Structure 1
Amino acid sequence: MSTIEECRRALDRLSDTLARAGGDVRGAAALDRSLSCRVTDLDTTFLGRLQDGRIQQVRTVPGAPPERAEIRLTMTSDDLVALVDGELNFARAWSRGRIKLEAGFRDLLRLKSLL
């Protein structure tokens, strides 16, 4: 099981990757949306904002998110780290129920280029 700090570093790496991206990925990351990432095995949620092509204002809260974010991810700590490190394929993990992604229909269409 990965630690909260390892998950936080993974989210920081993901933010850096999004900021360096070009083309369709940059366009998808340019959304201005609230974001939550629930890490089930740590009973922790990371809250932040996808803004200007980065994940910003990240904070950690125990348990479930206190409010409903516009883009919501749910997964284990090891899956989060593996996903960001490129060791876990998002589409395969999502289709097998290891990762849950919830967002509005338009956001899902824009986010598909990130996946």
Structure 2
Amino acid sequence: MATIEECRTALEKLSDAMQGAEGDVRAAAALDRSVSCHITDLDVSFAGRLTGGRIEVRDTYPGPPREKAQIRLAMAGDDLVALVDGQIHFAKAWGAGRVRLEATLFDLFRLRKLL
């Protein structure tokens, strides 16, 4: 099972990859939205902001997200690490119910370029 630090590192790695992206992926990452990621098996949430092409994690706290972020993710820690490392594909994990993503329809269309 992934640790809280491994999950934080995975989010930082994802953020670095998004900032270094080009073209459509860079445009999709240019959203300015609140973000939360609930790690279900650890029952911990990361909350922050997608801004400037990066995910800035501002808070980490026990339990589900305290506020409803504009972009909400939920998954097991191992799945987060595997997604960021390229070991599993987002669409397959989402289709299998291993990853939950909630956002407005507009944001989902923009985010699909990242996934």
Q: Provide the TM-score with structure 2 as the length reference.
A: 0.98
Structure 2 counterpart of 1:63 = 63
Unpaired runs of at least 5, structure 1: none
- Percentage of pairs with the same residue: 62
Is 2:76 the partner of 1:72? Answer: no
Residues 44-67 of structure 1: CA deviation (Å, up to 9, x unaligned): 001010000001143201001110
Provide the TM-score with structure 1 as the length reference.
0.98
Q: Which segment is superposed worse, 53-62 or 29-38?
A: 53-62
Q: Which has the higher helix share?
A: 1
1:102 deviation in Å? 0.2
Counterpart of 1:32, as a letter, is D
5 Å-filtered alignment, 1:42-61, equals 42-61=42-61
Distance in 2 (alpha carbons) for counterparts of 1:99 and 1:38? 10
Take 2:3 and 2:87, find their aligned partners in 1: how far apart are those partners? 18
Q: CA deviation at 1:109?
A: 0.4
Q: Residue 55 of structure 1: SS of its match in structure 2?
A: strand
Deviations 1:88-115 (A, max 9, x none): 1000000010000000000000000011
Paired with 1:108 and 1:50, the residues of 2 have a C-alpha distance of: 14
Q: Write the distance in 2 (CA, Å) between the matches of 1:45 and 1:86.
A: 22
Deviating 4+ runs (over 2 angstroms)? none
Q: What residue in structure 2 maps to residue 17 of structure 1?
A: 17
Q: Which runs of 5+ in 2 are unaligned?
A: none
Q: Distance in 2 between matches of 1:33 and 1:16?
A: 17
**1:97: which partner in 2?**
97
| CA contact 2:46–2:57 (8 Å) conserved in 1 | no
Letter in 2 for 1:107: D
Q: What is the match of residue 26 of structure 2?
A: 26
Question: What RMSD, in angstroms, separates the aligned Cα atoms of the two structures?
Answer: 0.6
